[in-house]
Chains A and B, each alone.
Chain A
Amino acid sequence: MKKYIIQSIRLTVVLTVLLCVIYPLLVAFVSKFSAGKGNGETITVNGKVVGYANVGQKFDQPQYFWGRPSAVDYNAAGSAGSNKGPTNPDYLKQVSDRVDTLLKYHPYLKKGDIPADMVTASGSGLDPDISPEGAAIQIKRVAQNRGLNAEQVNQLVNQHTEKHLFGPATVNVLKLNVALDQLRK
């Protein structure tokens, strides 16, 4: 028994060095050669970081495209989904309120135009993307608020719709909004 205890201690020490020092440091070193240098890929405007490409941020001003509802209000220091079950009455009320809010700001819409992702909270609370349909319903509002014509904004949305060989099509909200801001100039 004593033999096993000593072997266990010694093995734990050497494996800690191998698995918790050498391995992670080596990966961290190699990751320095990746696009985000292992820190996460940032987006810069005029030399200033305005966000992370993969971390959604809060957009609620009328001149911007909005992202999905978030259970943590896009506070990226943490992360969480709503964890609301599909039959929870409070949750269903919340979704219905979100629909009403969307209709208020987009009076030209019918309920059936609204895709599910725009009225449901994401898993992480930091979803950087919306569906192409989610972007399409906002085009008219954004164009009106910016004094642009809808066709111009529509083209921008098309440019920012990423179609993938595997997986759903996505629109990165931050990248789209950065491009919008640049369009104005």
Chain B
Amino acid sequence: MNSEILGVVASFLITLLIAIPLGKYLAKMFAGEHVWTDFLKPLENGLFKLAGIRPGEPMDWKQFLKAMLTINLLWLVYGFFVLMYQDKLPFNPDGNPGMTADLAFNTIISFVVNCDLQHYSGESGLTYLTQQIIIMFLMFTSAATGIAAAVGLFKAFRDKTTTNLGNFWEFFVKAITRLLLPLSFVVAIVLAFNGTTASYEGKDQFISLQGDTVNVSRGPAAQMIAIKHLGTNGGGWYGVNSAHPLENPSYVTNMVEIISQMIIPMAMILAFGYFIRRKKLGWVIFGVMTVGMFMLMIPTISSELSGNSNLTKMGITQATGAMEGKEVRIGPLATGYWSTLTTIVSTGSVNGMHDSTMPLTGAWQLLGMMINGFFGGCGVGILNYFIYLIIAVFISGLMVGRTPEFLGHKVEAREVKIAALITLLSPFLIMAGTAIAAYLFNNYGDADWAVKPANWLNNPGHHGFSEMLYEFTSANANNGSGFEGLGDNNIFWNVATGFVLILGRFLPIIGPLAIAGLLAKKKYIPESAGTLKIDTVTFGLMTLAVILVLNALSYFPALALGPIAEYFSMK
């Protein structure tokens, strides 16, 4: 047990040790100041030249969004067709088939939006070509899109009054060349040297010790696993993701992967503070997020370590905790730790099956995704949190009877309306989706789909409801993990979550950038004695309270029907 505690503590400390300097570096690098990676400039200039981009060109918030949405739309269209016809294309050593239209629709959206919800299994659903030019490509570019969007927001608040959000292309390319690609290279090599497969060999066959003939899926996984975590993507090379022993072969690789998925989300928060020259604000936000993280993590770990009480009743010894769906080399403690982080930072990779975790663990996983602002995904975490900040500023302003201000700009009706709409969007998408699914399950059980609604659920009762709730929550949060027992490869789930994915991704990027663009244009009001200071612990607690109240009001009823009811049924 001690070595397990030590492992988790070490993972967390190493994460901090990397994330803090990385945050400073990102702020300087995106601000165009001199940094040690400037030797990569010729490479970037080459890319800009080949793509016909003038990196210094300023963009206002509308141009910035147009550039971002155009390239994302291109990936959607192009990827959709490549996935459908992958069987006709080269690099398919295992002879896997093309995707159905609804599965291709779901898959391409899922990866463009950095969610990586997977309704297929990597070993049999994709080819080596599509794994790399679609899936891995989008893992880099969707993460870079999120980071570039966040830097656009940073830029809006760096100067007193501005219409310039910076150049989308420049931030996007630099996020790849100066951050994602070099780090991925290092992580991929470390994984490959610790047993993760990295070569292009197809399936292997051998005769086992007992004389069975066994086929083993392999392939260049390390390359993808690196960016899957660094870019908070989460889609695995193998079907069971990082629980697979060739994707995550040891406790050491498990530490590397868990550290990789946290460093950029953490660093981006600090980068915000440094970039807008309000270091303290960055640290206050970082503090609130860390507190929120522990509020979810401690009960998660405790519920996993206590094990399944139904197994205890049978007289089975659960010395290390609940083991169903978990791997011996990783253990329940590190799996619990991972499950909290992967749900708050929207990675959605798993090293154990969430469907088999304890009821309350499921509740905390769901809540982490519903809040989606404790560190959050690459870049988009700070955008989600920004909405909470605007709401907190507005409510605090009302409480003290002053016009709310955010960093020297008046927050008025238009901005608050956008923030309110974005806040309401998530509960609407999650609840409406789950309600429709539950209705279909009950009333149209034998609809003629690839998986009949009556056969959707792998578990009866409350847990079955949680499977549906989890799927929509994960889609909306662009998380990508699942209660994988759900039979989700059919037209309903592919199409429904496809729409939720796309709305849950782009509206929460467009909203904050629009607010930032609108605010930055306004006259700058210098700080006075009457200004609400937002870089204080008091305001940090206020934001935390707003986050908790909003989410409790929105989601408690749904959680009560699923994991909470299941928890009480166990006693």
Contacts and interface: CB of A to CB of B under 8 A. Distances in A.
B302 interface: no
B7 interface: yes
A39 B383 CA distance: 40
B356 A85 contact: yes
A116 B328 contact: no
A32 B239 contact: no
B214 A7 contact: no
Interface string B290-320: 0000000000000000011011001111111
B215 A76 contact: yes
Contact of A83 (B210, B460, B483): B483
Interface string B488-502: 000000000000000
A114 interface: yes
Contacts of B3: 163-169
B351 A123 contact: yes
Interface in A135-185: 163-170, 174, 177-178, 181
Interface string A96-130: 10010000000000011111110111111111111
B273 interface: no
Nearest to A178: B209
Contact of B318 (A1, A78, A84, A116): A116
B510 to A, nearest CB: 16
Nearest to A61: B210
Interface string B321-339: 1111111111100110000
A123 B327 contact: yes
Contacts of A163: 3
A116 B215 contact: no
* Max count, chain A CB within 10 A of own CB: residue among B169, B308, B570: B308
A19 B137 contact: yes
B209 A50 contact: yes
A8 B51 CA distance: 8
B461 A27 contact: no
A61 B200 CA distance: 35
A94 to B, nearest CB: 10
Contacts, number: 371
B461 to A, nearest CB: 7
Contact of A26 (B132, B185, B251, B254): B185
B138 to A, nearest CB: 10
Contacts of A64: 209-210
B136 A83 contact: no
Nearest to A89: B460
B106 to A, nearest CB: 19
B199 A32 contact: yes
Contacts of A49: 206
A80 B238 CA distance: 9
Interface string A20-37: 100110111011101111
Contacts of A123: 240, 243, 325-327, 335, 350-353
B79 to A, nearest CB: 10
A59 B140 CA distance: 41
Interface in B150-190: 169, 173, 176, 181, 184-185, 188-189
Given A7-B53, A86-B358, A57 B215 contact: no
Interface stretch (B29-37, B68-76, B414-422, B511-519): B68-76
A83 B136 CA distance: 27
Interface string B537-571: 00000000000000000000000000000100110
Contacts of B331: 167-168
Contacts of B245: 54-56, 124, 126-128
A81 B353 contact: yes
B188 A111 contact: no
B214 A15 contact: no
A183 B184 CA distance: 44
A138 B47 CA distance: 60
Max chain A C-beta neighbours (<10 A), residue from B254, B359, B485: B485
A31 B191 CA distance: 9
Contact of B132 (A24, A40, A75): A24
Contacts of B311: 92, 95, 116, 119-120
B170 to A, nearest CB: 11
Nearest to B239: A79
Give the residue among B137, B207, B323, B485 with the most A Cβ atoms within 10 A. B323
Contacts of B188: 27
B203 interface: yes
Interface string B452-470: 0000001111110010000
A87 B458 contact: no
A121 B324 contact: yes
A51 B208 contact: yes
B46 to A, nearest CB: 8
Contacts of B204: 39-40
A79 to B, nearest CB: 4
Nearest to A41: B195
A27 B176 contact: no
B148 interface: no
Contact of A55 (B67, B173, B216, B461): B216
A40 B216 contact: yes
A115 B319 contact: yes
> Among A53, A81, A111, which residue has the most Cβ atoms of chain B within 10 A?
A81
A81 B356 contact: yes
A170 B328 contact: yes
Contacts of A124: 238, 240, 243-245, 327
A28 B214 contact: no
A36 B195 contact: yes
B185 A83 contact: no
Considering the complex of A and B, which 6 residue pairs feature the smallest CB-CB distances, nearest first? A167-B251, A123-B243, A83-B485, A166-B7, A85-B463, A111-B315
Interface of B: 3-4, 6-7, 10, 47, 50-53, 66-67, 70-71, 74-75, 78, 121, 123-124, 132-133, 136-137, 140-141, 169, 173, 176, 181, 184-185, 188-189, 192-193, 195, 197-201, 203-204, 206-210, 212, 214-218, 220, 222-223, 238-240, 243-246, 249-252, 254-255, 307-308, 310-311, 314-331, 334-335, 350-353, 355-359, 458-463, 466, 483-485, 566, 569-570
Given A7-B52, A12-B75, A50-B209, 12 more contacts: A4-B67, A16-B137, A23-B185, A82-B325, A83-B325, A83-B483, A99-B316, A120-B311, A123-B325, A131-B320, A167-B4, A168-B4
